[in-house]
Structure 1
Amino acid sequence: MATDELAGVQSVESVQSETTTKRYPVAPGVQLNVRSGPGTGYPVVKVLPTGVSVPINCQCPGTTVAGPYGTSNIWDNIANGQYVSDAYVRTGSDGYVAVRCG
């Protein structure tokens, strides 16, 4: 394969991997705490503004939280060392929608 062709293939693969992580909306009107781990006992590392959508890289069990989308012990990993309660994210499911963190 020619170098130009190979470069084209690599860029297509990187674009595909960037677009495969689905984003989910945070509950309307909510400024959501982002924590360093999957539970309310972990420190808040930042607060998401209202009207955002988040990627879910993986999910894991943690502290049970009641929110606009029910009561859940599922926590969504949205970035390295950043977790939000799934009870505040509209995934369309009461269960896991991504692979388990681990």
Structure 2
Amino acid sequence: NGGRCVEGVDATRCVCPSGRSGPTCDTTNNRCIMNPCRSGATCTSLPGGYTCGPCPINYSGFYCERSINECLSNPCHNGGTCSDDYNRFTCSCRTGFTGVLCQ
């Protein structure tokens, strides 16, 4: 596992490379090994933890697990109904109104 044996007075021990630990360097310290990040975000292992990111457009949260809803700002006018989609929204307009935002 990439460890180096060092002979001591009473025993031999392993000096483990970065990211590994244990008596025979068989334990990984890489918290990204289980791929905790979502939505295609990159996991970066840190001492004592990890971080995900950057999150793709329209995703947020520690794991990049939350989809951002473009309809939260109520972009459709005149009673139009907003439908959220990946990286965009569409408005379904009431009779008599047209356009991207039902103007």
What's the TM-score once normalised by structure 1's chain length?
Answer: 0.23
Larger Rg computed on CA atoms: 2
Structure showing the higher helix proportion among its residues: 1
What's the TM-score once normalised by structure 2's chain length?
Answer: 0.23
Larger RCO of the pair (alpha carbons < 8 Å, separation 6+): 1
